[in-house]
């Protein structure tokens, strides 16, 4: 079974994200839509099945040409969906996220991970494009 990066942004509904594009500040004055969500919770699952819940800040830029650029940063709050034990932080940086779905609406994948890392100290950074 293919492992996927699953973005679970609690408190952010799909409608809120899509409607937020028209009400958020324009990115760089070039007509791009910008959506930002701070202090939410996300789940990262690497290609090997490791998983980390993390407090995350999300920035999504919708370019006029249809491109989507997404950045997620934060810190691990627990390991796996049911394990709050931080003893399972990686002993070395985990960077095996490339190609996995990032922003997904049902079965439609809007962005995929192009770069990502979970550090031994629990820092998380994901860059996604679509």
Residue 7: per-residue pLDDT? 40
Residues of the chain with pLDDT under 50: 1-25, 84, 86
Q: In the numeric block, which tokens belong to residue 75? A: 């810190």
**Residue 20: its pLDDT value, please?**
45
Residue 53 has a pLDDT of 86
Token pair in block for residue 66: 């249809």
Go through the chain and tell me how many residues it has.
Answer: 130
Give the pLDDT confidence score for residue 79 in this predicted structure. 63
| pLDDT recorded at residue 127 | 97
Contacts of 61 (CB under 8 A, 6+ apart): 27, 32, 33, 34, 68, 69, 70
Given this model, what pLDDT does residue 56 score? 93
Of the candidates 37, 43, 39, 58, which has an alpha carbon nearest to the alpha carbon of residue 4?
43
pLDDT attached to residue 21: 45
**pLDDT at residue 55, rounded to an integer:** 92
Distance CA 80, CA 116 (A): 17
DSSP for 42-107, written as a single string: EEEE-TTS-EEEEEEEEEEEE-TTS-EEEEEEEEEEEETTTB--GGGS-SS-B-TTTTSB-SEETT
């Amino acid at each position: 079974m293919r492992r996927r990066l699953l973005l679970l942004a609690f408190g952010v509904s799909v409608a809120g994200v899509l409607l937020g594009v028209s009400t958020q500040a324009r990115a760089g004055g070039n007509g791009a839509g910008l959506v930002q969500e701070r202090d939410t919770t996300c789940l990262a699952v690497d290609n090997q099945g490791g998983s980390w819940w993390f407090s995350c800040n999300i920035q999504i830029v919708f370019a006029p040409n249809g491109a989507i650029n997404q950045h997620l940063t934060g810190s691990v709050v627990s390991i796996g969906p049911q394990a709050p034990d931080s003893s399972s932080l990686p002993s070395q940086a985990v960077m095996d996220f490339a190609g996995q779905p990032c922003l997904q609406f049902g079965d439609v994948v809007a962005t995929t991970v192009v770069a990502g890392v979970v550090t031994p100290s629990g820092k998380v950074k994901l860059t996604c494009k679509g």
